Amino acid sequence: MSAPMSFQPVLLWTDALLFVLIVLGLLAGLHVRNQPPLREAWRKVGKRPTGMAAATLLLAFLLVGVLDSLHYRPLLPAVAAAAVGGGAGPEAAGRAADEGGAPGSEATPPASASAAGAAAGSAGTAPTEGSSAAVYSTEVLSALDALLASLRAQTEKTYSAPFAWTLYQREAMELPDGRQVRDYPRLAHGAAHLEAPGEARAADVAARLLQAAGQALLWWWGAFVLLTTLVWRGSGLGWGEVAGAMLSGRTVLAWRAALITLGVLMLIVAACLQLAPYYHVLGTDKVGQDVLYLALKSVRTALVIGTLTTLVMMPFAVALGIAAGYLGGWVDDAVQYMYTVLNAIPGVLLIAAAVLMMQVVIDTNPQWFDTAAERSDARLLALCFILGITSWTGLARLLRGETLKLRELEYVQAARAFGVKTPAILRRHILPNLMHIVMIALVMDFSGLVLAEAVLSYVGIGVDPTTISFGTMINMARAELAREPMVWWSLAAAFVFMFVLVLAANLFADVVRDAFDPRR
Amino acid sequence: MLAYLVRRVLYAIPILIGVNLLTFVLFFVVNSPDDMARMQIGVKRATPEAIERWKVERGYDKPMFINDAAEGSARFTDTVFFDKSLRMFALEFGRADDGRDIGQEIRDRMGPSLAIALPTFVLSLFASISFALLLVFFRATALDFWGVVLCVAMMSISSLFYIIGGQWLVSKLWALVPISGYAPGLDAARFLVLPVLISVLAGIGSSARWYRTIFLEEISKDYVRTARAKGLSELAVLFRHVLRNALIPILTGVVVVIPLLFMGSLLVESFFAIPGLGSYTIDAINAQDFAVVRAMVFIGSVLYIIGLILTDISYTLADPRVRLE
C-alpha cells in the first residue's frame, strides 16, 4: 500500500444524521429567502435581542457539536501496531478498573502517548500480525479531540480542584533523603510550569487573563468590523453611521445583543485558551480527566439527542397527523388508537422497557460494531429513536387538529372541487400551512430533550456509560458532594454548561414561537 | 352520564389490550427469553443448562402463544402470552426476580409513594397558580417581566440539580432534616418535608408560566372587560371570573396525572431512599427485572385511562355547560 493516510475518516450514524439535519437547515434557509412571509417571520426573531443573543449562543454550541462530529481513526505507528497483540497497556488497564466497566474510546489515554494501550483498551479487534498494511487505531477521535489534544492528554491521577497545583488526596511520598511523608502531591500538568505555585499562581493567572482579554478584544473587533461591513454593504449609509447604529442598538436586527454575547463568549474562550494548557480550569474528575474537556464533549451528545429525536419522529408525526386529519374515517381511528396506546404508557417506563430491550439486542450482536465508539453511537441513535417514538404523539395530535381546520377552508375545498388529487392538495395546500407547527415543535422540544437525557442517563436508561454526556457527568459526580472536602467542580461544570444551553434554547424557542404562532 | 362512563370504560379495553400487546412484543418478541437469560446470568456463565433453569424458574419455558402439548383450553392458557400478559388484567403480576409477589409489593409501596406525591401535587398546584395569578395581576410591569425571567431560568435547570443542591444545602450544610430515608407513620414527616419542597420548587417554573399564558389568554376576552366595566375590583375579576373560566384548560393538564400519583416519582424517591413505587421501578430497571417493569407499565396505563375518564367528569363539575352524553 502506498503512503497510507494519517487517519481514516469514520462516519458514525449520528454524524451522518446530524449533517443531514444541517443540510436540511441550509435548504430551509434558502427556501425562506424566497418566501416573503417566512422571511418576515424570521426577521421578527432577529429583531428581538433575546432571540439574537440566544441564537449566537446556540450557534457556538453547534460549532462545538459539529467539530465533535467529524470522527476519524488515527493511524497507528507500525511498531506499535505489531505490539498490540501483547498485553494491554498498564495505563489502560488501570483506568478500566477505575471506570468500573468496559472502557470506551474516551476513557483510554491518547493514541499518541501510548498507542498500544489505546488499542488494547477497546475490545481487541486490532490485527495481531504486524503487517505492512496501514493499521488504524480502534479508538475513534473527533476533530474536537484533535483541537483539544493537550486538554485530553493532560490527565492527572484523580480529583483536583480548579486551578489546583496539588492533588485532592494525600499520598505517601518518599523524600530525597529516604523519609516517608503523607502530603498532597504536585499535579503532573496543573500549574506544573510554576516553581512555587503558592505565591506565583495568582499573578500568573492574572497575567494570562489580561493577555486573554486583549486577545478577545482583538477578535471581537475583527468580528465587529466584519459584521458592520456586511450590514453596511448595500445599505446606502456611511460605514461610520452603520457602526454607530450597531453599537447603540438602532439596527433593524438586534445586532448589538449578538455582539455583546459574542464578546462575552470570546472572552471566555480566550481565557480558556490561555489558561487551559497550564491549569485545569474546571478541575479534574475521579480518573483525572479534565472536566472542561468532558463538558465540551457533552455538548455533542446533548445536541444529538435534542435535534435528532425530533428529526426521526417528524416524518411519522407529520404523515400520520395529516393522514388522520385529512382522510378521517378509519385512518383517523387507527392513528388515534395508536397514539392513545402510546400515551397510556408512562413515558419513562416505555423508554426504560425499550432501552432495556435494545441493550439486549446490542449485547447479543457484538459483531455489528467495529469499535466501541460505534457501539455507543448505536445506543445513542437508538435512544433518539425511542425518545422519538414516545414523543411523536403530541405533535401528531396538534397536526391532526390543524389539518381538520384547514381542510374545511375555502381554498382547500376549491382545490378539491377543481379535481386536484389528494396528494397534491396535501403537498401544496396543507403541508406548507403546517410547517410553523413543526418548526415550533422542533425548537420547543429541544430543551426538554436535553434535560430528559440527563435524567434518563442518571436512571441508567440513557446513553451508554462510556459516552460523555451531561447525564453521565452528573451521575459520576453525585456521590462526590458527600466527600470531605467536597468535590463540587464536575457538578458545577455540568450545571453551568447545561443551564446555559437549555436557557438559550428556551429563550430562542419562545422568540420563535412568538414570531411564527399566528395567534400571537 | 352513566351510559357515557360505561362507554368510556369499554373503550379503555382495546387500549389496554394494545398496551399489553406492545409490551409483550417488546419483552418477548424483540428478544427471545434465551437472550434475556444470557444477559441476566452473564454471557460467560450462560451454559445451556443455566439458561434452561432460569427460564423454568420464571415460567418462560412455555410456548409463546399456543401450547400444542396441552389439552383443551390449556392449549391457550398454558403459554407465556397468557401467563405473563393476559393475567395482568386480573391484576396478577407474578413474582419478581427476588421471588417476592409483585402485587403485594405494589400494595405495600403505594403508601410511601402517595405520602410524597400527594402533598407535592397539592402544594405545587397551589404555588404555581398563586404565582401565575400574581404575575397576571401585575402584568406588563417589571415584576411580571422578572417573574417570567425567573420562571424560564428555573425551568432551564435540570431536576437533578434541584435534588442534589437541596440535599446538600438543607440536609448537609444546615442539617435541618435527614438526607434520606423513611419511617412509617407520623414520623415520616421529617423525611418528607425536603423531597416535597424540592419537587414543588423544581416544577414551579414551567407550570407557573403555563398558567400565566392561560390566564392572559382568558383575560383578553370580552366578559372580563364587562366585569371590569361593571366596576368589579381587579381581584374579584381575577378570582371570580378569570380563574373559574381558566379551569377547563387547567383541568385538562392536571386531572389526568392524579391517578398516576400512585406511581410515585422515580427521581425523588430514589434520591431520598423512599420505599415507594418509584424507587421500586428504578431498582427493577437497574436490576433488569423485566417482570416488575412489565407490571408497572400495565398499572401505569390503567391509571392513565382512569385519569382520562376523571378529566371528563371534572369538566362537568367545573363547567355546567359541558354534559357527558
| Secondary structure of B178-206 as H, E, C letters | CCCCCCCHHHHHHHHHHHHHHHHHHHHHH
- Nearby residues of A466 by Cβ (< 8 Å), 6 or more positions away: A99, A101, A102, A103, A104, A105, A106, A107, A372, A376
Least confident of A52-56, A378-382, A440-444: A440-444
Cβ B305–A344 below 8 Å, yes or no?
Answer: yes
What's the pLDDT at A126?
43
**Whether residue A115 has pLDDT greater than 60:** no
Distance, in Å, from the CA atom of B221 to the CA atom of B157, rounded to the nearest integer, reads: 34
Percent of chain A surpassing pLDDT 70 = 88
The residues with which A75 forms a beta bridge, in sequence order, are A136
**Whether residue B84 has pLDDT greater than 80:** no
> Is the CB of A478 inside 8 Å of chain B's CB atoms?
yes
> Is the CB of B43 inside 8 Å of chain A's CB atoms?
yes
Q: Which residue in chain B is spatially nearest to A500 when comparing CA positions?
A: B156
Distance, in Å, from the CA atom of A365 to the CA atom of A165, rounded to the nearest integer, reads: 46
In this structure, the number of other CB atoms found within 10 A of the CB of residue A396 comes to 26
Confidence of residue A110 (pLDDT cuts 50, 70, 90): very low
Listed ranges A56-70, A479-493, B83-97; the one with the highest mean pLDDT: A56-70
Residue A338 gets the label, from left (phi > 0), alpha (psi -120 to 50) or beta, of alpha
User: A435-459 and A347-364 are packed helices; what angle lies between their axes, rounded to 10 degrees?
Assistant: 70
What's the pLDDT at A105?
38
Confidence of residue A128 (pLDDT cuts 50, 70, 90): very low
What's the pLDDT at A520?
57
What's the pLDDT at A18?
92
What's the pLDDT at A321?
92
**How wide is the angle at C-alpha A465 spanned by C-alphas A463 and A470, nearest 5°?**
65
Cβ A341–B22 below 8 Å, yes or no?
Answer: yes
Distance from CA of B200 to the nearest CA of A (A): 17
Considering only residues 289 to 308 of chain B, which have any Cβ-Cβ distance to chain A shorter than 8 Å? 290, 293-294, 296-297, 300-301, 304-305
Confidence of residue A79 (pLDDT cuts 50, 70, 90): low
The residues with which B195 forms a beta bridge, in sequence order, are none
Confidence of residue B31 (pLDDT cuts 50, 70, 90): confident
Name which of A341, A345, A503 is nearest B152 (Cβ-Cβ): A503
**pLDDT tens track for A197-237:** 778 888 889 999 999 999 999 999 999 999 999 988 878 88
**Cα B288 to Cα A334, A374, A432, B37, B99, distances in angstroms:** 33, 24, 45, 11, 14
Confidence of residue A88 (pLDDT cuts 50, 70, 90): very low
**pLDDT tens track for B106-134:** 998 988 999 899 999 999 999 999 999 99
Distance from CA of B65 to the nearest CA of A (A): 20
Q: Which of the pair, A6 or B307, is modelled with greater confidence?
A: B307
Residues A465-486: what's their mean pLDDT? 82
**Cα B19 to Cα A341, A481, B12, B14, B86, distances in angstroms:** 6, 41, 11, 9, 11
What's the pLDDT at A217?
95
> Is the CB of A20 inside 8 Å of chain B's CB atoms?
no
Three cell numbers, residue A436: 410553523
Cβ A481–B164 below 8 Å, yes or no?
Answer: yes
Q: What is the mean pLDDT of chain A?
A: 83
* Interface confidence (ipTM) of the complex: 0.88
Confidence of residue A83 (pLDDT cuts 50, 70, 90): very low
Considering only residues 329 to 348 of chain A, which have any Cβ-Cβ distance to chain B shorter than 8 Å? 337, 340-346, 348
**Cα A87 to Cα A105, A117, A373, distances in angstroms:** 18, 9, 22
What's the pLDDT at A2?
52
Using a CB-CB cut-off of 8 Å, the residues of chain A touching B159 are: 451, 455
CB pairs under 8 A between A and B: 125
> Is the CB of A353 inside 8 Å of chain B's CB atoms?
yes
